[in-house]
């Protein structure tokens, strides 16, 4: 038998990315994500960022040693398999509906495919496969908390369910979708694979925690966490399923890359590192630059480190390896904190990415408050991030300075509010956040809070209290990321 590793995609109409992200060529008419018509004398190179096959990575993480290509359709084509841009196999084919693999013996580098036709052809499927028996049949829950994005979530869920109905069986995995409806008004058509939980708004951290609990209770083995403004190419599910199907490492997790809608031809990040602040990997990489793409793929051969994390726009994990639930930040920091605490064996993969709104337009008083709070919290809680009182205070001042550049007094005072609140101790996270009360408090700007002298006073008190705060926050952390803690929080708002 054969099992798919990744299907060649010819573009994704729901994403703003150029077709060159997947393929290059002339005489191409795309019929669907996976189907294309080639005109006479057409050439099609499947060598874009989203169609690369990183054979060494598959060999390292899943011990896959033999790769094959399945191609179906009508017409005559010449199929070329290229390793690092050099042809290692070339075959003339008469296409049919038979899924007979063409095995590639020299699959040791970055593999791409090229098609040529003299008379034209219709391609119905082009897939990289393996004959390695699976270790398990993963059952993957897509967890999507949503608030005030009903139209976008409806479109996302419809697209994902359509893919599951057509392609999930081939992926040798089971899928389901869990939507956490924080508006409590989302109207979605019923589907056997869809579960909608109407719940009060507990922010992203509360929504993901609720979804993870439901996934465990209903027998899922893995989860894919998705923000409600994120869109991913559906074939990312094929690749994630293949990894979890074959990889022997029970702690292996996948950090999906992010592309901002505003710059759809560039990478926002391919995972990130928390080093005093969040530092995206390969930020602003030109996805049309072959040399940079090769650098990116080579980097995937080394696992990410203890300070690295993946964003919740597309983050896949084994539920059995989860030791801590998300921390109750409400907004911001839940994804980085989740990875730093659970210490998954984290990788990134070619073609596993999401497109979402960039962060440039999201800066305001509320986001600055939550950003400063979680930066300080990470440094207090995680021993491998402890940089001392002065260095941590410098991080806080840098974030407050970012607010000063907005020329917004509300944003300026929000950073000081967050710093002062963190000195109250971890008990503030024991109860539901009153978002309306927080917005009201941040909106009352006191002149002292926007002065440099007040921030320096916070520096002084932080230096005095830092060691005691470390002890208190670390002692409270296991309890505040436990299943019982979240069950109590949910019971205070509404039972699961």
For residue 471, pLDDT over 60 is answered with yes
Please enumerate in sequence order all residues whose Cβ is within 8 A of that of 306, keeping only pairs 6 or more positions apart, or say none: 340, 343, 384
Mean pLDDT across 42-67 = 96
Rounded Cα gap, residues 279 and 281, in angstroms = 7
Q: pLDDT class for 434, splitting at 50, 70, 90?
A: confident
Q: d(Cα 296, Cα 298) in Å, to the nearest integer? A: 6
The answer to which of 137-146, 368-377, 409-418 has the lowest mean pLDDT is: 409-418
pLDDT score, position 496: 43
Distance of CA 173 to the CA centre of its chain: 19
What's 8-29 look like in SS3?
A: CCCCCCCCCCCHHHCCEEEEEE
Q: Which residues contact 20 (CB under 8 A, 6 or more apart)?
A: 48, 265, 288
Tokens of 151: 């139209």
pLDDT beyond 80 at 237: yes
pLDDT band at 444 (very low <50, low <70, confident <90, very high): confident
Distance CA 363, CA 356 (A): 15
DSSP category for residue 251: T
CA 19 and chain centroid, separation: 21
Parallel, antiparallel or unpaired: strands 272-275 and 277-280: antiparallel
Q: How many percent of the chain have pLDDT more than 70?
A: 97
The number of beta carbons lying within 10 Å of the beta carbon of residue 354 is: 23
What is the torsion angle, in degrees rounded to the nearest 10, for the CA atoms of residue 240, residue 246, residue 248 and residue 249?
Answer: -10
**CATH 1.10.3470 correct for 3-130:** no
Which has the higher per-residue pLDDT, 442 or 127? 127
Per-residue pLDDT tens over the stretch 398-430: 888 877 777 777 887 888 899 999 999 999 999
Query: What does the pLDDT read at residue 127?
Result: 97
Integer Cα distance of 86 and 105 in angstroms? 14
Contact call for residues 138 and 241 (beta carbons, < 8 A): yes
- pLDDT for the residue numbered 450: 59
The alpha carbons of the chain give a radius of gyration, in whole angstroms, of 24
165 falls in which pLDDT band (50, 70, 90)? very high
Q: Is the pLDDT at 448 greater than 70, yes or no?
A: no
Give the model confidence (pLDDT) of 241-268 as tens digits: 999 999 999 999 999 999 999 999 999 9
For 281, other C-beta atoms within 10 Å of its C-beta total 18
Give the integer Cα–Cα distance in Å for 86 and 71: 20
Is the pLDDT score of 493 beyond 90?
no
Specify the residue for token string 């929000």: 414
pLDDT value, residue 231: 97
Question: What 3-state class would DSSP assign to 480?
Answer: helix
- C-alpha to C-alpha distance for 400 and 265, rounded to whole angstroms: 32
* Contacts with 125 (C-beta within 8 Å, 6 or more apart), sequence order: 7, 34, 35, 70, 71, 72, 73, 99
Q: Which fold has domain 139-361?
A: Spore Coat Polysaccharide Biosynthesis Protein SpsA; Chain A (3.90.550)
- Paired strand residues for 354: 258
The arithmetic mean of pLDDT across residues 205-233, rounded, is 97
Let me know: does 66 contact 96? Beta carbons within 8 Å.
no
The DSSP annotation for 177-211 comes to EEEEETTS-------TTEEEEE----HHHHHHHHH
Pick from 10, 84, 53, 48: nearest CA to 300: 53
The answer to whether the CB of 449 falls within 8 A of the CB of 491 is no
Write down the mean pLDDT value for the chain.
Answer: 93
Please say if the pLDDT value at position 59 is more than 90: yes
How long a stretch of residues is the chain?
Answer: 496
Q: What is the pTM of this model?
A: 0.95
- Burial 31-57, CB ≥16 within 10 A → b, else e: eebbebbbeeebebbbbbbbbbbbbbb
Q: What is the largest CA-CA distance in the chain?
A: 78
Tokens of 110: 């970055």
Determine the average pLDDT of the residues in 41-58: 97
On whether the CB atoms of residues 316 and 140 are closer than 8 A, the answer is: yes
Cβ proximity of 80 and 116 under 8 Å: yes
Give the pLDDT mean for 278-283. 96
What is the Cα–Cα distance from 333 to 278, expressed in whole angstroms? Answer: 10
pLDDT in tens, 87-122: 999 999 999 999 999 999 867 899 999 999 999 999
Residue 446's pLDDT band, with cuts at 50, 70 and 90, is: low
CA dihedral 374, 489, 140, 204 (to 10 degrees): -40
- pLDDT 10s digits, 310-369: 999 999 999 999 999 999 999 999 999 999 999 999 999 999 999 998 886 667 889 999
The answer to whether residues 144 and 180 touch, using CB atoms and an 8 Å cutoff, is yes
Q: Give 395 or 406, the one with higher predicted confidence.
A: 395
Q: Which of 244-248, 395-399, 492-496 has the lowest mean pLDDT?
A: 492-496
Question: Would you kindly state where each structural domain of the chain is located, as residue ranges?
Answer: 3-130, 139-361, 363-493
78, 25 Cβ separation under 8 angstroms: no
């Amino acid at each position: 038998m054969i099992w798919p590793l990744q299907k060649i995609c010819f573009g994704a109409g729901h994403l703003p990315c150029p077709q060159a992200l997947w393929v290059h060529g002339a005489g191409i008419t795309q019929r669907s994500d996976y189907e294309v018509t080639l005109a006479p004398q057409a050439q099609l190179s499947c060598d874009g960022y989203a169609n690369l096959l990183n054979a060494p990575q598959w060999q390292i993480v899943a011990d896959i040693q033999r790769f094959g290509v399945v191609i179906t359709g009508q017409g005559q084509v010449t199929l070329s398999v290229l390793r690092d841009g050099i042809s290692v196999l070339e075959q003339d084919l008469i296409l049919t509906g038979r899924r007979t693999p063409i095995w590639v013996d020299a699959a040791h580098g970055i593999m791409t495919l090229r098609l040529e036709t003299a008379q034209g052809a219709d391609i119905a499927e082009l897939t990289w496969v393996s004959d390695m028996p699976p270790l398990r049949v993963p059952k993957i829950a897509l967890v999507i908390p949503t608030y005030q994005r009903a139209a976008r979530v409806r479109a996302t869920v419809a697209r994902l369910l359509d893919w599951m109905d057509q392609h999930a069986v081939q992926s040798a995995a089971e899928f389901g979708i869990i939507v956490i409806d924080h508006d409590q008004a989302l109207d979605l058509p019923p589907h056997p694979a869809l579960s909608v939980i109407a719940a009060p708004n507990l922010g992203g951290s509360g929504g993901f925690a609720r979804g993870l609990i439901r996934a465990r209770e209903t027998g899922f083995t893995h989860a894919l966490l998705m923000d409600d403004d994120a869109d991913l190419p559906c074939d990312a599910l094929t690749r994630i399923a293949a990894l979890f199907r074959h990889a022997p490492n029970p702690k292996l997790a996948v950090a999906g890359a992010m592309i901002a809608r505003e710059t759809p031809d560039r990478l926002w990040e391919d995972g990130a590192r928390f080093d005093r602040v969040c530092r995206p990997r390969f930020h602003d990489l030109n996805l049309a630059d072959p040399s940079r793409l090769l650098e990116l793929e080579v980097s995937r051969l080394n696992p990410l480190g203890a300070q690295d994390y993946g964003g919740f726009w597309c983050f896949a994990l084994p539920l059995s390896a989860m030791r801590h639930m998300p921390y109750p930040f409400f907004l911001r920091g839940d994804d980085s904190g989740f990875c730093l605490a659970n210490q998954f064996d984290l990788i990134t993969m070619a073609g596993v990415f999401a497109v979402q709104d960039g962060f440039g337009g999201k800066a305001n008083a509320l986001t600055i408050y939550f950003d400063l709070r979680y930066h300080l919290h990470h440094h207090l809680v995680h021993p491998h991030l402890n940089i001392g009182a002065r260095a941590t205070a410098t991080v806080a001042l840098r974030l407050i300075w970012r607010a000063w550049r907005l020329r917004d007094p509300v944003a300026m005072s929000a950073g000081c509010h967050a710093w002062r609140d963190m000195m109250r101790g971890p008990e503030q996270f024991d109860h539901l956040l009153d978002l309306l009360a927080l917005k009201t408090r941040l909106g009352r700007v006191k002149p002292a809070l926007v002065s440099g002298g007040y921030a320096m006073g916070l520096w002084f008190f932080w230096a005095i209290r830092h060691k005691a705060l470390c002890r208190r926050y670390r002692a409270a952390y296991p309890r505040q990321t436990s299943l019982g803690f979240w069950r109590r929080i949910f019971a205070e708002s509404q039972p699961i």
